[in-house]
A and B are shown apart, each in its own frame.
Chain A
Amino acid sequence: MRTPRPEDARDADLHRRLVLGDRQAFEELYRRYSGAAFGLAHRVTGHELLAQEVVHDSYLALWRAPEAFDPARAPFRTFFLSLVHHRAVDTVRREERLRRRTERVNPGPVADEDVAEGIVEESWLADRRVRVRSALGKLPAEQRQVLDMAYFRGRTQAQIAAELGVPLGTVKTRTLTAMRKLQRMLGQEDHE
């Protein structure tokens, strides 16, 4: 079994306190991840108010049912950002009509940096971001494209196939290949 990284162990401790109803632990998790969560929700929804709702609902869901996170399975960070992502994508799909009326802003990953004054992003999170971006940058463009359309634009694989004019099977293959490569690259770094 791998020893958890200090930041993951810290998150696990905060989660244990959260399960007991500790509001300070909740506030610490808000301080640690609200910047990343809001950045992700904003990137997916392209809409300030929708992003706020996504982050709000995600944190409230965490507060109401902290047991949904199982520390034995994954670091808190990946659990929570996945939760935010799912809610953001659901929101985008639900609000498709609204999104069409709103000029969509899909900011680039670097230009969008806006670390909050009161939300002090810790260096390990910034380091991890650099590593993930680097790994993503090493993927072939067509694989990166399907991940971007699925993850950040909330498209289903069938929609991606239709938009790109390629068979659904091609989209699935590119997605799987990309995920495996990322898994290998990020997994190797975890063991370094």
Chain B
Amino acid sequence: MTFEDHEAIVELLAGHVLHALDEEEVARAEELLASHVPSCPECSATLEAFRAVAGDLGLVAGSRRPPRLLGLRLRRETSSRKLAVWLGRSVGVTAALLVGAVLLWNLHLSGRVNRAEERQARTTEVLYTVSHPESRIVPFSAERSELEAGAMTAAFLPGRHFLYVYGSLPDPARGRVYQLWLSREGRFRTAGTFLPEAGWVLLRLAVNPASYDGVLITEEPASGSQEPSDRRVVTAAF
């Protein structure tokens, strides 16, 4: 390949990284990117350097405040996507005991729908909640260093008497369970105990979230506890 050929190629690459080529040239550039460039160290290096310049040119425009709603919208949508992945992986939702106002999904829907329909209903309802413009989505803070950041989330719609708690948790120690607590002004009320299924958790609580100021999950003996122990796992403040 001659020097002139290379010059023609890098000229095309310059237009390519600026996204300024016409349709025919785009096809030519794509052909070169697939054939010549990977095997030519000089062209590869030039392409990477031009890409870096093109990325830096973006800074010239200056910073501009995006609308607050854009961040909120993305937060909801990314939450929905992660939840959809979880629901897709999860075989079901597990909660070992039912205490007080906790209403387990399976129980809530039992006798009305089969398992596949139940999963569909569950998915639809939670996705509806977390993607609703007025929904409140509250990530739990991990109280243990080994937990993934943002592992658990609470979500609810103001004015609706349901609170969803979902995410991923490892299995508790042998012979122990997780226990969910609702807090108000420093006092805790148990909402039930549960075990993750294949690492996934999805709970629906039939409570008015406005009556509480937060949620806590602790690890407790299999029979549950009357008061939360100091084995805190995750916590969220509304």
CB contact between A129 and one of B14, B60, B85 (< 8 Å): that residue? B60
Q: How distant is the Cα of A183 from the Cα of B7 in the complex, in angstroms?
A: 16
Chain A interface category by residue count: 35 or more
CB contact between B66 and one of A17, A38, A113, A156 (< 8 Å): that residue? A38
Judged by a CB distance under 8 angstroms, whether B175 is at the interface is no
CB proximity of A126 to chain B, nearest CB, Å = 8
Given contacts A119-B66, A151-B18, A186-B52, contact A27 B75 (CB under 8 A): yes
Q: 1/0 per position for B47-71, CB-CB distance to A under 8 A?
A: 0111111111111111111111011
A129: which B residues are within 8 A, CB to CB? 59-60, 62-63
Q: Is the CB of B85 within 8 A of A121?
A: no
B75: which A residues are within 8 A, CB to CB? 23, 27
CB proximity of A131 to chain B, nearest CB, Å = 8
CB proximity of A169 to chain B, nearest CB, Å = 9
CB contact between A20 and one of B57, B81, B148 (< 8 Å): that residue? B148
Judged by a CB distance under 8 angstroms, whether A136 is at the interface is yes
Q: Which of A20, A38, A154, A173 has the most CB of B within 10 A?
A: A38
Q: Which positions 1-49 of chain B face chain A at CB distance < 8 Å?
A: 7, 10-11, 14-15, 17-22, 25, 48-49
Q: Is the CB of B20 within 8 A of A78?
A: no
B14: which A residues are within 8 A, CB to CB? 172, 175-176, 179
Q: Is the CB of B64 within 8 A of A26?
A: no
Q: Is the CB of A52 within 8 A of B66?
A: yes
Given contacts A21-B82, A38-B66, A114-B63, contact A183 B53 (CB under 8 A): yes
Closest to A115 in B: B63
Q: Is the CB of A35 within 8 A of B64?
A: yes
CB proximity of A120 to chain B, nearest CB, Å = 10
Q: How distant is the Cα of A44 from the Cα of B64 in the complex, in angstroms?
A: 13
CB proximity of B120 to chain A, nearest CB, Å = 22
Q: Is the CB of B78 within 8 A of A52?
A: no
Q: Is the CB of B70 within 8 A of A55?
A: yes
Q: Which positions 101-145 of chain A face chain B at CB distance < 8 Å?
A: 107, 109-110, 112-119, 121, 125-126, 128-129, 132-133, 136
Q: How distant is the Cα of A119 from the Cα of B58 in the complex, in angstroms?
A: 17
A27: which B residues are within 8 A, CB to CB? 75
A12: which B residues are within 8 A, CB to CB? none
CB proximity of B131 to chain A, nearest CB, Å = 13
Of all A-B residue pairs in the complex, the 9 with the closest CB atoms, nearest first, are A78-B55, A81-B58, A116-B65, A43-B61, A39-B64, A35-B63, A150-B20, A38-B66, A129-B59
The interface of chain A, by Cβ under 8 A from chain B, is: 17, 20-27, 30, 34-40, 42-44, 52, 55-56, 59-60, 63-64, 73-75, 77-82, 84-86, 89-90, 107, 109-110, 112-119, 121, 125-126, 128-129, 132-133, 136, 147, 150-152, 154-158, 160, 172-173, 175-176, 179, 182-183, 186-187
The interface of chain B, by Cβ under 8 A from chain A, is: 7, 10-11, 14-15, 17-22, 25, 48-68, 70-71, 73-75, 77-79, 81-82, 85, 139, 148-150
8 contacts between A and B (CB under 8 A): A52-B67, A56-B73, A89-B19, A109-B62, A116-B63, A116-B65, A182-B53, A182-B56
20 further contact pairs, Cβ within 8 A, besides A26-B78, A114-B63, A156-B22: A24-B139, A37-B58, A38-B70, A52-B70, A55-B66, A73-B48, A82-B17, A82-B51, A85-B57, A90-B19, A115-B65, A117-B65, A118-B71, A129-B63, A132-B59, A133-B59, A147-B18, A172-B11, A179-B50, A186-B56
